[in-house]
Amino acid sequence: MEFDLLSLLVFLIISLLLIALIRNLRRYDHPNLKLPPGSFGWPFIGETIEFLFGKPENFVGERMKRYSPDIFKTKILGEKTVVICGPNGHKFLFSNEQKLFTAFRPHPMQRLFRSYRTKATAVTVAAAEVETKVIRTPGFFKPEALVRYLPKMDAMTQQLIGSSWYGKSEVPVHSLSKTITLSLACRFFLGIDHPERIARLVEHFDDITNGMHSIISNFPGTIFYRATKAAEAIRKELRAVIGEKKAAIASGAPAMDILSHMIIVSDPTGKFMPEAEIADKMMGLLVAGYSTISTTMTFFMKYVGLHPTIYQRVYLEQMEISNDKKDGELLNWDDLGKMKYSWNVMCEVMRLVPPLQGTFREVLVDFTYAGYTIPKGWKLYWTVSTTNMNPEYFPNPEKFDPSRFEGDKMQPYTFTPFGGGPRLCPGKEYARLAVLSFVHNVVKRYKWEVMDPLEKVVGDMMPTPEKGLLVHLHAH
């Protein structure tokens, strides 16, 4: 009997579904282990759709109520995953890095950033050693190094705010925050004196940021396809920058930035990182130092614009610093210590709108937590969503209230926007400098009103005001 094309297609589809169902049932059959409660969802896709397109705090909160407040299992982005919840979960995670689990990047990130692929080779292992040596050993992100960069950061922020908003009454905040953040990152990471060279690629960075947490579907028009094209464009530009930097180093220019050190530092065998690998590492650093900081700047403008009394306290604090300075004198390290209330405001912004929802780990050995066993090879998802909006730790969690961060009110491990333990974000101090420099310069120049207080926020993994957060400016 001959099958026509339609019959054959139906037969193949049914066969594939049956195979998937059988594999799905067998794959998670661990008869000797007490696995965490939860659901792996649908074959293939698991619960990825709910994870990517529902609010993260809802995805996590609903499962904590349904299964356990301590731990639950799911399947997201193609991986069997457990979520360890609450401050005790945070403490356990931060205390066991590199013992029970190690860093893992989801498959979309691995595809976009080739150096993130988990299959170890001699080249990738050597590159990882060089990357660690460059970033950790010279201490680019340590206060003693950042203190030298702060005046430049202040000057660049002043210039960009002035050139973008001077003489205007209505402006979109998000576009400026992205330009400032990417310009600072290019200057700090790449040593580019004219950062607009990379800043003009800002839309490409947006596409990559969205693509890092998306379904891998590399067809024209999809989020992941746009991200792939954006990564190619940025890689090409970075290869050109690397070539110029090598020429400058050969002519005797000092190595004053991360890119230069990544070029000149070798691994223990004497090998240098290939240019393609350097470009990939630098693209990862730029993305990390771009989207999270610009998000925090943008939502600072929103929440402070909606709360005049909070604005007034920030303004008075910043003007006290400004009034103590001579004309043209830039920010210094001591000034940051005087911005306590401004930083409390920023912390409350990050609590309500986390610039980073969470990160993944890969389980190295079977281990037990809260009475359940997590098998080797599974993934662990750490997220701020198990604490940030929990009324047990933050009463009236929907309310914008910077006073939460005054004194010793905070319970340990309830607010962890930069992670913790050995994998505490190395750029934490850099981010603090960038956002406080922005606060100092914007409140000195302007008071503002948010044009649409109910503007929709899109992109739950990377929150963005749908219309760019239009504000009405009043110059001082």
Question: Which position has the higher pLDDT, 299 or 51?
Answer: 299
Q: What is the mean pLDDT of the chain?
A: 86
Within 13 Å and on the Cβ side, how many CA atoms surround 407? 4
Q: Determine the Cα–Cα distance for residues 302 and 210; give it in Å rounded to an integer.
A: 22
Q: Is 61 helix (H, G, I), strand (E, B) or coil?
A: helix
Which residues does 14 contact at the CB level (< 8 Å), separation at least 6? none
- Would you say residue 33 lies in a domain? no
Residue 471 reports pLDDT greater than 80: yes
The two structure tokens encoding residue 111: 């595809």
Question: Which position has the higher pLDDT, 10 or 337?
Answer: 337
Counting every residue written for the chain, the total comes to 476
User: 358 with 381: CB under 8 angstroms?
Assistant: yes
Closest residue by Cα to residue 417 from 469, 346, 360:
346
What are the tens digits of pLDDT across the range 223-233?
Answer: 999 999 999 99
pTM of the model: 0.87
Residue 125 reports pLDDT greater than 70: no
pLDDT at 16: 57
For residue 415, give the CATH number of its domain.
1.10.630.10
Which residues does 413 contact at the CB level (< 8 Å), separation at least 6? 87, 88, 90, 91, 94, 387, 420
What are the tens digits of pLDDT across the range 382-413?
Answer: 999 899 999 999 999 999 999 999 988 888 99
Closest residue by Cα to residue 209 from 128, 291, 107, 311:
291
Question: In degrees rounded to 5, what are phi and psi of residue 370?
Answer: 55, 30
Residue 11 DSSP symbol: H
- Would you say residue 388 lies in a domain? yes
pLDDT at 267: 63
CB atoms within 10 A of CB 398: 9
Question: Which position has the higher pLDDT, 216 or 137?
Answer: 216
- Would you say residue 456 lies in a domain? yes
Number of folded domains in the chain? 1
Instruction: Quote the domain boundaries for residue 141.
Output: 116-475
- Would you say residue 201 lies in a domain? yes
- Would you say residue 411 lies in a domain? yes
- Would you say residue 17 lies in a domain? no
- Would you say residue 86 lies in a domain? no
CB atoms within 10 A of CB 365: 11
Which residue do the tokens 């047990």 mark?
392
Question: Which position has the higher pLDDT, 354 or 115?
Answer: 354
Closest residue by Cα to residue 52 from 215, 226, 217:
215
Question: Which position has the higher pLDDT, 307 or 49?
Answer: 307
Closest residue by Cα to residue 373 from 383, 381, 363:
363
- Would you say residue 360 lies in a domain? yes
